[in-house]
Structure 1
Amino acid sequence: MTELRLVIFDVDGTLVDSQADILAAMGAAFAAEGLEMPARERVLSGVGLSLPETFLRLAGEQGQDTRARMIATYCTAYADLRQAHGPRSSPFYPGARAALDRLAGEEHTLLAVATGKSRRGLDRLIEAHGLEGLFHSRQTADDHPSKPNPAMIRAALDETGVAAHRAVMIGDTRFDIDMARAAGVASIGVAWGYQPAAGLGADRIIHDWAGLAPALDDLTETIS
């Protein structure tokens, strides 16, 4: 019998393209305090971190109370956008849903999520895209320190009972890859996300979803 393996996905910038709503909600948060929003590239470079870490990076010169208000405004604006747009709010990247379905059909593969989203945000995305029952572990920023702390991956390993040498983290940012390394699992970086692929430092880089299966097979065989 083939030993189980665990494939852990980041969400924003990896599975779905949520940048339109992220930027709009961020704009609302800064505007509510009479502040100018940082450049698009700077905002997107922090996607994947928890919201307190994100706003510390983007508005660290503001006081803690101001940042707390900005986080609350961001969350409300993001939720309103998701409610208004439904699945169109964070569309799958081409080929992402098919890749998930293929992996879910493998008896020796379990799927998990490790995301900087809140649990409420992740649950709403899963509901909107009809992904209920697909992920065996859902790890969010509500329950763990921000990436790149390895707590989310370690919790997913504990929850599924899969050994670290049979797990792979897939993400689009250095936060994902550094988290994987800290947890002792292999990593795959995607080239279509919010940070340049050349700087990720992942074990493998894929440029489309067709490259996922061979990369996974190679890494789980190599590290088994």
Structure 2
Amino acid sequence: MAERFELIVFDWDGTLFDSAAAIARAIQASCRDLDLAVPSDAQARHVIGLGLGEALRHAVPDLQEADYPRMIECYRQHFLAKDHELKLFAGVPTLIAELAARGRLLGVATGKSRSGLDRALVQTGLGAHFHATRCADECFSKPHPAMLEQLMDELGVDPAATLMVGDTTHDLQMAKNAGVAGLAVSFGAHPRAALERESPLACVHTPRDMARWLLERA
């Protein structure tokens, strides 16, 4: 089959890394620490993929802006306490290595901070496979197209030859805004119905299905 995409860009949390539940719990625990209304699982998961400041504005609307630093510090403490227990989804290392071996350009566009992504790339051993990455503290947060636009510009790839893979509507809306095709995965943060409303090329439901789709169709 002819190659369809030259560049494949992945979200990190909830797409390659099994961390969506841990992020939601860290947001909820931080709210308890600060005696704030605790968002539901759905509310906490909905903001995954956004930059941390923007995520807090949506998930914790009662939080005063002056208290953001304290909330962010609480969040980081709770998340990092569990970070060592989190893992890549099954089959992800093999998938990424195979795509790289086939000559695909690979990128990451994530709501994580630069320090957080760099730490994750080292811990998982995947860093050498990615040609370029963008984080929410380096440019506009999703669904703004800046991350994808910068990645495509850096790697010299047109939108028609680029695919965004993500587990949130933020990922798919960013892809639309950048004129890029999107592949949705429903095993991360956002529910299948919400993802399918964004009209991705496909919506896959397990890490194995994601790997199969990419290796056969991308």
**TM-score of the superposed pair, with normalisation by structure 2:** 0.88
Query: Secondary structure of the residue that 2:128 maps to in structure 1?
Result: coil
Q: What count of residue pairs does the alignment treat as equivalent?
A: 214
The answer to whether residue 1 in structure 2 is matched with residue 14 in structure 1 is no
Measured on the aligned residues, the alpha-carbon RMSD in Å equals: 2.3
1:186-201, aligned counterparts within 5 Å? 186-200=181-195, 201=198
Shift of 1:67: 2.6
- Could you report, residue by residue, the CA deviation over 1:48-80 in whole angstroms, capped at 9, with x for unpaired residues? 011111110122222111233211221233234
Deviates further, 167-176 or 57-66: 57-66
SS in 2 for 1:66: helix
Distance 1:169 1:110 in 2: 12
Checking the alignment, whether the CA contact within 8 Å between 2:16 and 2:92 is kept in structure 1 is yes
Query: How far apart, in 1, do the equivalents of 2:49 and 2:210 lie?
Result: 21
Q: Which moved more, 1:17-26 or 1:196-205?
A: 17-26
Aligned to 2:92: 96
Q: Where does 1:129-144 land on structure 2 (aligned, <5 Å)?
A: 129-144=124-139
C-alpha offsets along residues 127-150 of structure 1, whole Å, 9 cap, x if unaligned? 111112111011001101110000
Gaps of 5+ in 2: none
Alpha-carbon distance, 1:197 to partner:
2.0
- Whichever residue aligns with residue 76 of structure 1, its letter is Q
Cα displacement string for residues 2-39 of structure 1 (whole angstroms, at most 9, x for unaligned residues): 79700000011111111343134223421331224211
**Residue in structure 2 matching 1:207, options 180, 205, 208:** 205
Identical aligned residues as a percent:
35
Check 1:217–1:129 CA distance in 2 against 1; reply closer, same or farther (3 A cut).
Answer: closer
Partner secondary structure for residue 133 of structure 1: helix
| Contact 1:10/1:176 (<8 A) preserved | yes
Query: Which residue, out of 103, 107, 112, partners 2:107?
Result: 112
Q: Is contact 1:99-1:209 (8 Å) kept?
A: no
Corresponding residue SS for 1:168? strand
CA separation in 1, counterparts of 2:148 and 2:89?
23
SS of the equivalent of 1:70 reads helix
